[in-house]
Chains A and B, each alone.
With several copies, the nearest count.
Chain A
Amino acid sequence: MTAEEYDRILQRLGREPSYTELGLFSALWSEHCAYKHSKVFLKRLPQTGPHVLQGPGENAGALDIGDGWAVVFKIESHNHPSFIEPFQGAATGVGGILRDIFTMGARPIAILDSLRFGDPNDPKTRHLIHGVVSGISWYGNCFGCPTVGGEIAFAPEYAGNPLVNVMCVGLVRADRIFRARAEGVGNPVFYVGNKTGRDGIHGATMASATFDEGAEAKRPTVQVGDPFTEKLLLEACLEAMATGAVVGIQDMGAAGLACCTSEMPARSGTGMTVELASVPQREEGMSAYELLLSESQERMLIVAERGREEELRRVFAKWELDAVQIGEVTAGPDLTVRHRGDEVARVPVDALAEAPKYEKPYAAPAWLKELRAFDPLALPAPADYDEALRALMGAPALASKEWAYRQYDQQVGVNTLVLPGSDATVLRVKGTRRAIAVSTDGNGRHVFLDPRRGAAMAVCEAARNVSCAGGRPLGVTDCLNFGSPERPEILWQLAEAVEGLAEACRALELPVVGGNVSLYNETSGLAILPTPVVGVVGLLEDASQLATQWFKAAGHRIALLGPDAVSLGGSEYLWTRHGKQGGALAPLDLELERRVQAAVRAAIGEGLVTAAHDCAEGGIAVALAEACVTGKTAIGCEAALPAGMRADLTLFGEGPSRVVVSVEGGRAREFEALMAESAIPWQWIGATGGARLRLRVGGEMVVDVSVDHLEHAWRNGFERHMA
């Protein structure tokens, strides 16, 4: 806490704060809880739309998906805890986001994990990957929510600060959404769930600091997850909500009890009094400070309707969980905290909730110009394109992530219509004909080179993935992972990236209904690549009209939809083959992006395509190769790609708004008519069949490789590092 912030507290209270009060302020005014540096930017994101039932400001956002149902979803980071203790850090990250979803009254139906690590060749990184993946697996599997998607990417910048972002999606009746409110003066305040221990004290403040040599000293704050208790908490909370006795509910996440007891009344214009001695405790002799700031997991605060306490107690007793009244809602304006009768804190709730906001100076880094001016075509073209493609398919970033997701239950709930391994995962909504499609994306390398366009591209790509599955993107959640905002160039990255997100979301009519900001992601002065991770949820009105990314049979025609413009700047090829990170990104035309996605969805909706796959990292060559090898049985294809550029640029260049589809010969005319109507650039490029992938550029056969070889490289490229 800065001296100015302390002065502000003096002013607000009109006196010196007590030790406990100071603790409250320092946690709630931390970057993690208060968004001191990012709030000014977040305001720029579009947050409204016809489907929005709940925008930012609650535990999670909610969108109407029709038939009386809503999806509740959000993404959160657990980067710092996962670096200190990968298994428990990632596990408790899953636990936290699950609670954000079920506090809204929704049953979680899907988890997605978006991960970033250093080089998997490095044993330390491997250890982190093992720990993080098994932590996610342990918590999600035991809890009983399928983990159905996500990403794993690698760059040296993440070696000292991996990213663990977890998104969760839940389903709720649209008229049964619960909120984190403390309404009704005199209503009792209940503490439910696990007992409080000393774990995680200072978690919020830790997440607001960079790592340095002193990181070791912060270690005892590690929290431990208990997925079984979380499952009990889920069932008990949903059951309690169904009684009608619950007025408001919030999970105790960062800054624990302090956060709930101030945020809930602040949202409702009320106050609250609590007696800490009533808090169920796991350890002896805990101080008021510790009880308020502990981040013990699997706990919630519930405001109940007065007179219905017994109903609540009965439900929690059935699930063998503590449910203890610790206070009540008051007229405000204060949060009054007592400990064994003594008043230990009395602070206006809005003073806690209204942290100072900063508008610090920012500026583009001087080195960026030079980096962007780098011309990838100054590097030699490969002599052997077969080998170049095989290497790319086997690069850890592009290779199959089955090693990770086969450790995750992907099916519990029997909703998963498309399992992990396609552009987006599709889950049905039982009792309706509907399904939702979900995907997360974010390419730190792109954002590093061009924060605005790179971030916009992340929105486009996540949405495009959803469109390729046949889903109409409805809304976005984002996790902004950046370095220290106290450095002008990092703050510039953040400002630009948010601008890019906002532009893309506006163009694609996607409201941002929730998200998370994780700053100070750096170790010893080395910041991570700026990494906004975007999660998109889309709707299929008819679940049977879905598409997957792999070719289904021989003899189908292949079309490329979208522009020809691509670039090797910031491409996976440039990194994998040349170890370089530079150049300019391909142009992005958001209006064209929108039309291409609409065209893909229309074609899927008409049943015209047998596969649809987004062209992303690795360019069209990798997109085609993936369509060949990611299905149950590999199928080859032959394609002729537009000439006019160097072959490596044509094959491996990356650019937005491009989708490959396959079409049965008999439907080609209909498809052509639909594309003409869609007014997008497109072309037939080849046909499926055979056991080889054969690609011509400008008439010359540059790639001619057996799909078995490609499949082998792709299947083992990541797993071989992990064995």
Chain B
Amino acid sequence: MKVRVLVRLKPGILDVQGAAVQRALGGLGFGDVRELRVGKLIEVEVDAPTAERARARVDEMCRRLLANTILEDYTIETDSAEHLAPPGAVR
């Protein structure tokens, strides 16, 4: 079962990297960027019988390790196949 975790800095925490990227884009002529934030994408393949179970398991991983909840929020997505890692992705 493939699950996707999106980890973002909490609202209110200055995203220095996002701001730097936005500035750099501005320099390249992309003045139309109103806001940009950088986060982490974690794609996990877990052994789980159902999407529900997989999600619960990954939620536990997030709380234990994947996100630091003082700094970060996370969302877990299992919805549709199109969001998953491209075929052939290997480590």
| Touching chains A and B, CB distance < 8 Å | yes
In whole Å, how far is B23's beta carbon from the nearest beta carbon of chain A?
8
Count of A-B contacts judged by CB separation below 8 Å: 39
Q: Please report the C-alpha to C-alpha distance between residue A296 and residue B20 in the assembled complex, in whole angstroms.
A: 17
Per-residue interface assignment for chain A, residues 251 to 285, with 1 indicating a CB less than 8 Å from any chain B CB and 0 otherwise: 00000000000000000000000000000001110
Whether A224 and B71, one on each chain, are in contact in the complex, defined by CB atoms closer than 8 angstroms, is: yes
Number of B residues whose C-beta is below 8 Å from A? Answer: 12
CB distance from B3 to the nearest CB of A (A): 22
In the assembled complex, the Cα of A88 lies from the Cα of B71 at a distance in Å of: 10
Whether A85 touches B12, Cβ cut-off 8 Å, given contacts A228-B20, A282-B91, A283-B90, is no
| A131 (CB) vs chain B CBs: closest residue | B68
A222/B16 contact (C-beta < 8 A), A282-B91, A283-B90, A284-B90 known:
no
Residues of A within 8 A of B71 (CB): 85, 88, 222, 224
B14 contacts A228, C-beta separation under 8 Å: no
Residue of B nearest to A223 (CB): B14
CB distance from A481 to the nearest CB of B (A): 23
Q: With A228-B20, A284-B90 given, is the CB distance from A197 to B70 under 8 Å?
A: no
B12 pairs with A283, CB closer than 8 A: yes
Q: Is A311 in contact with chain B by the CB < 8 A criterion?
A: no
Given contacts A199-B12, A283-B90, A85 and B70 within 8 Å (CB-CB): yes
- Residue-wise interface mask of A (203-234) relative to B, using a CB-CB cutoff of 8 A (1 in contact, 0 not): 00000000000000001101111101100000
Find out whether the CB atom of A197 lies under 8 angstroms from the CB atom of B16: no
The reply on B33 being an interface residue by CB < 8 A is no
Q: Are B70 and A222 in contact (CB under 8 A)?
A: yes
A612 lies within 8 A of chain B by Cβ = no
Interchain nearest-CB distance for B8 vs A (Å): 14
Q: Mark B19-48, 1 if CB is under 8 A from A, else 0.
A: 010010000000000000000000000000
CA distance A229 to B15 in the complex (A): 12
**Residue B81 at the chain A interface, CB threshold 8 Å:** no
Residues of chain A within 8 A (CB-CB) of B20 are 228
Bound-state CA distance A222–B13 (Å) is 8
In the complex, A647→B78 CA distance in Å? 67
The answer to whether A226 touches B14 (Cβ under 8 A) is yes
Name the A residues within 8 Å of B16 (CB-CB).
224-226, 228-229
**In whole angstroms, how far apart are the Cα atoms of A281 and B26 in the complex?**
20
Q: What B residues does A613 contact at CB under 8 A?
A: none
- Check if B13 sits within 8 Å of A224, measured CB to CB: yes
Asked if A453 lies at the interface with its beta carbon under 8 angstroms from chain B, I say no
Q: Which residues of chain B are within 8 angstroms of A224 by Cβ–Cβ distance?
A: 13-14, 16, 71
Q: Which residues of B contact A225 (CB under 8 A)?
A: 16
Compute how far the CA of A296 lies from the CA of B12 in the bound complex, rounded to whole angstroms. Answer: 11
Q: How far is the CA of A222 from the CA of B90 in the complex (A)?
A: 16
Is A198 part of the binding interface, using a Cβ–Cβ cutoff of 8 Å? yes
Contact call A219/B14, Cβ cutoff below 8 A? no
Report if A84 contacts B (CB, 8 A). yes
Contacts of A88 in B (CB 8 A): 71
Find chain A residues with CB under 8 A from B90 CB.
Answer: 282-284
CB-based nearest B residue for A229: B16
Chain A residues with CB below 8 A from B23, complex form: 320
Q: B14's contact among A197, A284, A320, by CB below 8 Å, is which?
A: A197
User: A184-204: contact bitstring with B at CB < 8 Å (1 yes, 0 no)?
Assistant: 000000000010011100000
Tell me how far the C-beta of A287 lies from the nearest C-beta in chain B, rounded to whole angstroms: 14
Q: Bound complex: CA of A198 vs CA of B90, how far in Å?
A: 11
Which B residues are in CB contact (< 8 Å) with A222? Answer: 13, 70-71
**Docked-complex contact A84 and B70, CB < 8 angstroms:** yes
What CA separation (Å) do A197 and B70 show in the bound complex? 17
Interface residues of B in 32-91 (CB under 8 A from A): 68, 70-71, 90-91
Q: Which residue of A lies closest to B12 (CB)?
A: A198
Residues of chain A with a CB closer than 8 A to B10's CB: 220
> Which residues of A have CB within 8 Å of B70?
84-85, 219, 222
- Measured between beta carbons, the chain B residues less than 8 angstroms from A282 are 14, 90-91
A357 to chain B minimum Cβ distance, whole angstroms, is 35
In the complex, what's the smallest C-beta–C-beta distance from A134 to chain B, in angstroms?
13
CA distance A233 to B62 in the complex (A): 30
Give Cα A219–Cα B72 distance, bound, in whole angstroms.
12
Q: B13: which of A84, A194, A199, A320 is its contact (CB, 8 Å)? A: A199
Q: How far is the CA of A689 from the CA of B20 in the complex (A)?
A: 44
**Whole-angstrom CA separation of A32 from B90 in the bound complex:** 30
Chain A, 161-192, CB within 8 A of any chain B CB: none
In the assembly, what is the distance between CA of A584 and CA of B13, in Å? 49
Taking the nearest CB of chain A, how far is it from the CB of B7, in angstroms? 15
* In contact, B14 and A296 (Cβ under 8 angstroms): yes
B90 and chain A: residue at smallest CB distance: A283
- Cα–Cα, bound, A220→B71 (Å): 8
Give the residue of A194, A197, A320 whose beta carbon is less than 8 angstroms from that of B12: A197
CA distance A222 to B10 in the complex (A): 11
> How far is it, in angstroms, between the C-alpha of A194 and the C-alpha of B91 when the chains are bound?
12
Which residue of B is nearest A89, CB measured? B70
Residues on A with C-beta less than 8 A from B14 are 194, 197, 199, 223-224, 226, 282, 296-297
**Chain B hits for A284, CB < 8 A:** 90
B12 proximity list for chain A (CB < 8 A) = 197-199, 220, 283
Q: How far is the CA of A85 from the CA of B68 in the complex (A)?
A: 9
**A226 nearest in chain B by CB position:** B16
* Nearest CB in chain B to that of A123: its residue: B27
Alpha-carbon distance A224/B13, docked complex (angstroms): 7
For the complex, what is the distance from the CA of A526 to the CA of B42, rounded to whole Å? Answer: 39
How far apart are the CA atoms of A8 and B90 in the complex, in Å?
40
- CA separation between A224 and B91, bound complex, in Å? 12
For A283, the chain B residues whose CB sits under 8 A away are 12, 90
Instruction: Find the residue from B10, B14, B91 having the highest chain A CB count within 10 A.
Output: B14
> Chain B contacts of A320 at CB under 8 A?
23
B75 CB to closest chain A CB (Å) equals 19
Q: Give B11's nearest chain A residue, CB to CB.
A: A283
Q: Which residues of A contact B68 (CB under 8 A)?
A: 85
> How many angstroms from the CA of A219 to the CA of B68 in the assembled complex?
12
Q: For residue A85, which residues in chain B have a CB less than 8 angstroms away from its CB? A: 68, 70-71
Offer 17 A-B interface pairs, CB within 8 angstroms, sorted by A.
A88-B71, A197-B12, A197-B13, A197-B14, A198-B12, A199-B12, A220-B12, A222-B71, A223-B14, A224-B13, A224-B14, A225-B16, A226-B16, A228-B16, A282-B90, A297-B14, A320-B23
Interface residues in chain A, defined as those with a beta carbon under 8 Å from any beta carbon in chain B: 84-85, 88, 194, 197-199, 219-220, 222-226, 228-229, 282-284, 296-297, 320
Lowest 9 A-B CB distances belong to which pairs?
A226-B16, A224-B14, A85-B70, A219-B70, A198-B12, A283-B90, A222-B70, A224-B13, A197-B14
List 10 other contacts, CB 8 Å, given A85-B68, A199-B13, A220-B10: A84-B70, A85-B70, A85-B71, A88-B71, A194-B14, A198-B12, A224-B14, A228-B20, A282-B14, A320-B23
